[in-house]
Amino acid sequence: MPEHVLPADIERSSMRIIGEELRSRDIVLPEENAAVITRVIHATADFDFARTLFFTPGAVQAGAAALSRGVDIVTDTNMARAGVSKPGLQKLGGQVFCFMAEPEIARSAKEKGTTRASAAMEYAAEKHPGAVLAIGNAPTALYTIADQIEAGLRPALVIAVPVGFVNVVESKERLTAVCETYGVPAIAAMGRKGGSTVAAAICNALLYTAADMLDPAKRGWQ
């Protein structure tokens, strides 16, 4: 028989196991970033993220504060969009968007000879200039965001966690360098690892922090 069957019990046990394994590896998480790091490990079962997640100073606080004001989230995949907590958004008054499948984005990308991810970030900069940008797939989205920040865009937070082998490492390095230069809060998974699951997990950690929902009981779970 399973040890637990109720969602809240499963999550609490998972977090306890994560804590024990972190201690066994002599990893001490910075308190201000712990909720995000443990949520990502919970979503991936990958303890490498305890060492590879990068935070600009105050990034978690800035992201949670923005979401508490009802700031919207824009993602680069519908998978990440689907994974973001709708009860958390509802409690705080925000929304989550993904423009990748919009016909006008496809037309814009074709006309400009660029990717839909890049066109979607240009559209997001116009329609949601102060949003939380959560990128889990497309390095070209990060390059576009970096260019936009240099041109004056100020997102509430950039979550830079694409996964893969081509332009992934380089795009994260450029994005984080630009964010540090211009004082834009950023959270990034340095290296090749990441993905839509990681992007959604970071968003949820911030939403749960902002909405006082880190305990699953406060999400209405049994």
Active site residues: 42
Instruction: With beta carbons less than 8 A apart as the criterion, state whether 120 and 99 touch.
Output: yes
Quote the Cα angle for 70-8-49, to 5°: 70
For strands 132-135 and 73-75, give the pairing.
parallel
Instruction: With beta carbons less than 8 A apart as the criterion, state whether 77 and 101 touch.
Output: no
Quote the Cα angle for 135-206-11, to 5°: 105
Return contacts of 52-56, CB within 8 angstroms, 24+ apart.
52/189, 52/190, 52/191, 52/193, 53/187, 53/188, 53/189, 53/190, 54/176, 54/186, 54/187, 54/188, 54/189, 54/190, 55/30, 55/186, 55/187, 56/176, 56/179, 56/180, 56/184, 56/185, 56/186, 56/187
H/E stretch holding 182 reads helix 168-182
